[in-house]
Amino acid sequence: MSIPPTAPVALRRTDSPIGRIEIVGDGEAVVGLSIEHDGLLPHDELPEAPDAVTDLAAAQLEEYFSGARRDFDVPVRLHGTEFQRAVWAGIARLGFGRTATYGDLGLETGRATAGRAVGGAVGANPVPLLVPCHRVLGADGTITGYSAGEGIATKAWLLSHEGIPHRLPRSRGGVELDLGLDAGRDAALATPA
């Protein structure tokens, strides 16, 4: 996740089932969203300075996690290359419970064979959840990675929350994959690859 290098104009944190979430705004839109990783957020050293937009984003995220919201209408401003913005626009069109593959996004952006570039753009999404990059899976429904929060465990939780069947990546050396989050709901939907 990348946040523009300047200090946030607005900063709001909220708790969630997947860890604390930090919302960064520029005074008009959300420009960054981070999910806690190893107990840390990018701006933990700064005091909260919420505004109407970051408060709205926090309220909508709370509704999403409680099951009362399926989409977000908070304004976002995405900083990235033209290709990244095209990939993020494709992701933003994925509705609750729907998925796309990296190949689908490559085709949509006119770069059908640019799987790695698409993966890089997905991973660079500055506002996960609001632009739902967790809904992008490998061609066989496998989680291939996730750059927010605790990675694959966070993505598996989000997919299960939305009722999206998915496959966990194959573990190395036959060791069972430790998701690290409460995976009770995951067990019903996730199928190890």
- Per the CB < 8 A criterion, the answer to whether 97 and 164 are in contact is yes
Annotation says 135 is catalytic: no
Q: Is 175 helix (H, G, I), strand (E, B) or coil?
A: coil
Q: Which helix (H) or strand (E) is 8 found in, with range? A: none
Among 100, 133, 136, 148, the active-site one is 133
Query: How wide is the angle at C-alpha 156 spanned by C-alphas 45 and 181, nearest 5°?
Result: 55
Residues 6 or more apart whose Cβ sits within 8 Å of residue 5: none
Name residue 15's amino acid: D
- Per the CB < 8 A criterion, the answer to whether 30 and 76 are in contact is yes
CA distance 57 to 63: 10
Return the active site residues. Answer: 133
